[in-house]
């Protein structure tokens, strides 16, 4: 009888314990994405501009290489390292060499080879494998490295270290030439972007700066903090939040396997965290009105949306 009572009490207690643990993980995640947002603002204060989503992607000149361009495949998050207590790691990265060797097309109309690689990407391969806690959401149990595939990886196992936090960019335009996009369609970041606070005319408190994403993706692969691989262009809110690919036979709606590269979501129940241009962090529900969400992603479309 006593054992039965203890079993009932444990059964009643476990959900509460699990909820408390998830609340702690969620608080940690909020703190981490806030750190990334703060680092972006310190970078802006230092350089008078935000870092780009990435520098010179290899697939962006396929078939018609630019003789004046070299491929760097750098993720803009890597430029934040000095402001995230990772100065030694930043100093060990050769900024004159590419962070990955990806400059080949893998599908669709992307063919040929891209612009020549800058330096030898192998010089930065070890640094790219470094797993950084500040970029990892504790609620996500997905894999932590990309491996050594030609499209996304490096020559050094276990491959580039992943990130759960991405810069707000455009998934539909893989290269996302920020400089030539119309102001109404721009997000804060893109390939070689040079966004300044003054460019965010819709207001920094009404514009998404950093998106939460998962470490498992069905189509393509999840992002790495240090490098850009094939169509790794940033986090895009346009498709919505938590758009999952649910394998046959699975019943959980939170499997952590987003439908495609560049999408946003989390393993927190019902939505994901976002850092706004003001530095504030908000949790947006996965059933958020898509028109509002898309408006929050743009920096100057003229529609100042009200955050629910």
Instruction: With CA atoms as reference, report the closest residue to 247 among 265, 264, 259.
Output: 259
Per-residue pLDDT at 277: 93
Q: How far apart are CA 165 and CA 215, in angstroms?
A: 10
Cα–Cα separations (whole angstroms), residue 89 to 1, 3, 119, 128, 139: 59, 54, 19, 10, 26
Is there a contact between 253 and 246 (Cβ–Cβ < 8 Å)? Answer: yes
Q: Which helix H or strand E contains 54, and what residues bound it?
A: strand 54-55
Residue 21 sits at φ, ψ, to 5 deg, of -65, -40
Strand partners, 241: 264
Per-residue pLDDT at 176: 60
- Enter the pTM of the model: 0.89
Contacts with 137 (C-beta within 8 Å, 6 or more apart), sequence order: 25, 29, 32, 164, 165, 212, 266, 267
Structure tokens at 179: 């400089």
Cα–Cα separations (whole angstroms), residue 136 to 48, 64, 159, 162: 28, 37, 16, 8
Per-residue pLDDT tens digits of the chain, which is 308 residues long = 656 655 554 555 545 445 667 778 889 999 999 999 999 999 999 999 999 999 999 888 887 777 788 999 999 999 999 999 999 999 999 999 999 999 888 887 777 888 899 999 999 999 999 999 999 999 998 999 999 988 887 788 999 999 999 999 988 765 766 777 777 778 999 999 999 999 999 899 999 999 999 999 988 899 999 999 998 889 999 999 999 887 666 665 556 789 889 999 999 989 999 999 999 999 999 999 999 999 999 998 777 666 66
Q: How far apart are CA 192 and CA 244, in angstroms?
A: 30
Three-class DSSP labels, 223-235: CECCECCCCCCCE
Per-residue pLDDT at 167: 97
Per-residue pLDDT at 166: 97
Per-residue pLDDT at 2: 59
Per-residue pLDDT at 64: 75
């Amino acid at each position: 009888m006593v054992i039965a009572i203890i079993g009932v009490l444990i059964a009643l207690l476990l959900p509460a314990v699990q909820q408390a643990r998830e609340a702690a993980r969620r608080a940690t995640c909020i703190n981490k994405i806030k750190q990334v947002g703060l680092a972006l603002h310190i970078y802006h204060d230092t350089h008078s501009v935000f870092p780009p989503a990435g520098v010179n992607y290899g697939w962006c000149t396929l078939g018609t290489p630019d003789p004046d361009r070299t491929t760097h495949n750098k993720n803009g998050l890597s430029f934040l390292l000095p402001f995230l207590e990772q100065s030694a790691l930043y100093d060990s990265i050769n900024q004159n060499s590419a962070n990955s060797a990806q400059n080949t097309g893998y599908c669709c109309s992307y063919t040929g080879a891209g612009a020549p690689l800058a330096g030898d990407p192998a010089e930065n391969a070890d640094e790219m494998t470094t797993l950084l806690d500040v970029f990892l959401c504790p609620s996500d149990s997905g894999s932590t490295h990309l491996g050594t595939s030609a499209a996304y990886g490096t020559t050094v196992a276990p491959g580039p270290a992943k990130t759960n936090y991405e810069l707000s960019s455009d998934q539909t335009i893989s290269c996302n030439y920020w400089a030539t996009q119309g102001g109404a369609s721009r997000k804060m970041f893109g390939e070689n972007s040079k966004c300044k606070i003054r460019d965010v005319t819709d207001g920094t408190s009404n514009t998404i700066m950093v998106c939460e994403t998962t470490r498992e993706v069905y189509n393509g692969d999840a992002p790495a903090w240090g490098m850009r691989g094939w169509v790794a262009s940033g986090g895009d809110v346009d498709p919505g939040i938590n758009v999952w690919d649910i394998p046959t036979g699975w019943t959980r709606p939170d499997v952590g396997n987003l439908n495609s590269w560049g999408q946003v979501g989390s393993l927190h129940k019902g939505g994901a965290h976002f850092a706004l241009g003001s530095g504030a962090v908000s949790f947006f529900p996965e059933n958020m009105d898509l028109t509002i969400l898309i408006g929050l992603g743009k920096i100057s479309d003229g529609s100042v949306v009200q955050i629910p």
